[in-house]
Structure 1
Amino acid sequence: MNPTRKLVLAAVAVCLFVLVLVVATAGLMLASEAGESGGGRTPEERVVVLVVVVLAGATVGCWALIRLHALYVAASLRMAEELAATVAYNGLRLPEQSAPELRVLAQAANQLLSVRDALEEDVAERVNEARASLEEERSRLAALMAELSQSVVVCNLDGRVLLYNQRAKQELSGGADGSTLGLGRSIYTVFDRALIEHALERLQQAGRDQAGGEESRKLVGSAQFVTATRAGRLLRAHMSPVLGGDGQHGARVGGLSITGFVLVLDDVTSTNERHGRRDALIQSLIEGGRGPLGSIRAAAEMLSDFSDMPPRQRDRFLSVIRDEAKALSVHLESAAAAFSNDLRERWLLEEIHGAELLDVAVRRIGERREGERRALAVKTEDVDEDLWLRVDSFGLLQALRYLALRLQDEYEVREVRLSLARSGQLAQLDLSWLGTFMNNETAMGWLQDPMTTGGEASPLSVVDVIERCNGEIWFQRVRVSHRAIFRTMLPAAEAPTDLPRAIVAAEEGDRPEFYDFDIFSWSGASHELDDRPLTELSYTVFDTETTGLQPSQGDEIIQIGATRIVNRRLLRHECFDQLIDPRRPLSQQSIEVHGITRELLVGQPTIDTVLPQFQTFCADTVLVGHNAAFDMRFLQLKEKQTGVRFDQPVLDTLLLSAVLHPNQNSHRLEAIAERLGVSVFGRHTALGDAMVTGEVFLKMLPLLAEMGVTTLRQAREASEKTYHARLKY
């Protein structure tokens, strides 16, 4: 109990005692006067009257004191808590008060808050102006990282991830164990710790070897290694150090320190598979050709050594040579057909969506050139939207533009058409036009001449570009439709199963945050968790939806939703959201709360599969929940069944709200959010509740700091002292 409340209760008790004493004195005086006047009441009657008078006076006094306490004391305490919240967050105002005096005080406080908000808005505007250039650089970094074709991961010396791009998230997340790349997570959940430490040792050794001169101290080497992810992909990694200044903590190399490292990753799985296929081709040619060549050689030697061989025997040896030569030819042709793309790939090709390539070609060809009265019209027809190509897109676009503009310049063609269709295992790309006659010799000359367009010359011909793409091109005429065609056959590629999520995020207008450079200063070995400041910890904010409210009586989890807080930021793009098949019926009451029906749970994984994945997601973090005791009870009851134990520290926003605002009537999530100015959305979905809880928790951190609660230990001890901590499930 706080000192103010103790003082108030003591004052109430004194007032009550004085009131009873006054009433009793008055009663005795009345009784004495009545006796002196010779009234007819007996002593017993006078005692009854006195008791009634005393009780009535005491009742009236208690009611008055309780009413005064509610109007002024309790209301003042609530007003103080609400004022603390409004001071912490702009835009909030004190509610209307019942007592006139407190109403005037609240109005004065709201006026001061308005002045404060205006001043802070002015300061914020100036700060925003100062941050404009920084935000621009930040956006450039996000755009650069999203568009890189390589995976990039930056870590501090403890292996904590502080930056990664979309391609890294695609390639390094989602292993068989549910491992996920995320800010503040350990890179050792993806790569073997010994391999990374060995590469770091090589970096440090290279730096020590080069630390002889002032200039060489800046040139710390790099390390390369090849490793396999837990999802089975083969990666080639290039590790470079992140160097700090003389005063920064890190591994010392000469006069500098290594504060972290950068991993640039190339997926060489397909390259390795292609090399394996080439090796298999060579081996098959050796094994498959040895027998036929031996037979042909033996037959040829017999024919050469015995020139007087009888005609029938000679024909038999000639037949052997023909049969073996035919078998060898068939073997070579089948091998060439099976491995032609691998054998002919001499240029670094890219996989591109065919329809996208044609859209770019239409714009490039249809651009009006300087001094040109009318641009060439370009249309597309019969485009296979599902077709992907493996080509040199720049060279192919250059070749198409060269052919189209030469048609316009030399034959006055006003319109060309582009089409793309699948033809067996290949893609058929046609550049066609109507009406203009061209002979085969002219067309072949165009294909073999160096390309020159608009004054820009290239040493390559169209044939060179198409051969670089492992394709073929020719000219043909369709006399029935009076159409002429440059037809190109190109290798088709398989459509990627996972497009970069950066594209989706851009369409939604929400840029993913995948970097946090403050993690450079983290060191997991430097502090005990309980003594770490709350602002330095990483959190997993989670919530569950269940079949009912009785975990000990067989109710089950049907959904787990979670997000993460790293460096006081809610990472909305690093989420865990999974429905779970409870293997038991759902009650209608629970369906009305969360809206999850039995049909939605059909085919979903069971709790045995989901809990290990969730444990991986929240590794090395503090768990945060609202009324977390309820959710943790469900998890604890599954320890024996699943073998998964959640032994992380747990913080509860319900208990922290009781610590911050002990005089409030409600500590429901909606009530807390309203007090702290947090928008409520997605209620009664696990992920939606986790998001709201995370926002509420971030709002609580500065309020806790004002109370002197700054470490995890202090937050847990304060929570344990609240009444709500006694609730059991």
Structure 2
Amino acid sequence: MTTRQWIAAVSAAIALGGYLASALVVRWSLLAAGIDDEALLTGGTVKAGAAGLALALALLGLFLLVDRWLIAPAEALGRQVRRQAQSKLGEHPVEVPQGHRLGPLPQAVVALTDQLRLARRDMVRAMETATAEVARQKEWLEAILLDFSDGVVVCDPQHRVLLYNQAAVRLLPSVQALGLGRPLFSCLTREPILHALERLEYRRAEGGGAAELVAPFVCATMDSSTMLHGRMALILGPVREVDGYAITLTDIRSEIAGLTRMTNLRRALGYGLRGPAASLRAAAETLAGFPDMEAVQRRAFEQVIVAEATEIARQIDTLSGEYRGHELLRWPMGDIHSADLAACVGRALAEDGPATLTLVGIPQWLRGDSFSLLLLLKTVLGHVHRLNGATAFDLETRTTERQVYVDVSWTGPAVPSAVIESWQDDQLDAVHTGLTIRDVLERHGTDLWCLDQAGGRALLRLPLPLPAAEPLKGPSRPLPPRPEFYDFSPVTRSEAPASIADRRLRDLDYVVFDTETTGLRPTDGDEIISLAGVRVVNQRILSAERFERLVNPKRKIPRGSIRFHGITDDMVADKPPIEVVLPQFKAFVGDAVLVAHNAAFDLKFLRMKEAASQVSFSNPAIDTLLLSVLIDREEEFHSLDSVLDRFSIPAPNRHTALGDALATAELFIRLVDRLDSIGIRTLRESMSASNMAAEMRQVQKHF
């Protein structure tokens, strides 16, 4: 029912009701007055009906006026506004109805729709401009990608292709397989790409920068016709969420062919010549051992010598002709962070069974093919688990001048060399790669062996190449050391609790920590801007159990301070204050013994914020600076740089809270060994000797 029909019906109902009410009122009034004359009653009723009819006519006239002045103009205005709303471009102007009595409402509606039309026009122009800009940028990007000799493919998080260049089309098996919106894994093998993505996700979760969110990998086309070397880079959104990834692809069939020829050469030198050489040696030894041999027999052995020597010469000529000028190549590799490798191997072991892998020590960079190394370590540790039941493995990396040692240790016996040799031809992943342990070792130019260690532990060692990229180094100009800080006030001094005072240092749990600050004067307003710690248990640095936070100091960071730690105001602007971070650090520390270099300095900053943060650091604390003074009394310098250099401990991330904490943890483990050699073995003994060394050191500073 329309508005007009509804008002007409209401008016008719009111008129009918008025007529009936008037008739009834008149008739009841006459009866109440004692008049029962039928003629009078009928006449009164007729008059009442005439009055009701007049009322109905009046209502009809009123309705017609309302309809003309209000209802009809409102409906006409509504139709125009609806047409305006339903039009995408809104190019239908609204006209004010004639003869309306709606006041300023129509003009307001017209003004509103005019603004709507203008806004739509602006939006259309803006969309056209943006579309043109996107198209122009796309053309630029396509022109740039067109010149790339490497294939480039950009995918979303669901591995659907968003963009690719013609070089990628030439590399991949068919144009039909590669297309916008199509799955990447219809073109390339899945596992190496997912493994590279997993590594980058781990680095992103650890807070890695853009330079660290790039990973190399080796994969093949789905038809196995082409071997490709790829590099993956994450594409991050505004809050570091993964919006997709880009990969570049290079055809390495020629490299693989060279590697295959190199393998054949190595096998030919190692196995093809072994038989003739053995025959030649046996014949020569026989002739030398029997000088009185008959002439007929001697001629037979001499013929063997000639024949085998001729065969060896022929094979050498063939090999030298084939490989003349050939450069021996290695398998395509990339730089890998040992923390990434350990995390991936640990997850793979956890998926297959009860075995666990813990990263210990200071993580290092190494070079290799991470996917094949993952499969190698997973397979070998699985063999170790089945051989002797070991379930808890530690992985540590150590860098030498020529290579990086990947050491995996466990409690139990070592694996004999013959057993490791028997594993060499086991396939790592027959479904996807067909690689064997021997293949991976040969590709990395390395070997695998196992040793017994003290304390009933075994160590499996895998030497790998050094990283190609130079490790991060500190400032080119040496920075002055942090001043030695001694404070024996109740605020910073701690004692060994009776419950652990007589326990061996080797048996305690520690958190080695470090701070970066706005300056060196906590009592003059300097604040913590970075706080980090790492756990040490049973003389092992549990690198994965770490704490690292940037802190908003609520004040400007002086430029003189920035040159030490590189932390700027922008980097801490959106970080939580110390009142939020310190309770988190306390929860991480728990009841562990605190360790730091020049510990009184860092503890002063922590304990001055205890009240505001509502936490208390009553943990006993050990200072590696004082332990160094205690052990090397004759040495003049005991700054962290000096002591690390004295113990040959690498510190690639010096002057970062986490980097210094890791380096100090390695230093502390070395110092515990030295303390044990001079008879200081318990927490009580070490803290008592440290306090004495501090007092002597403070006295020496005054003279």
| TM norm structure 2 | 0.32
Higher relative contact order (CA 8 A, sep 6+): 1
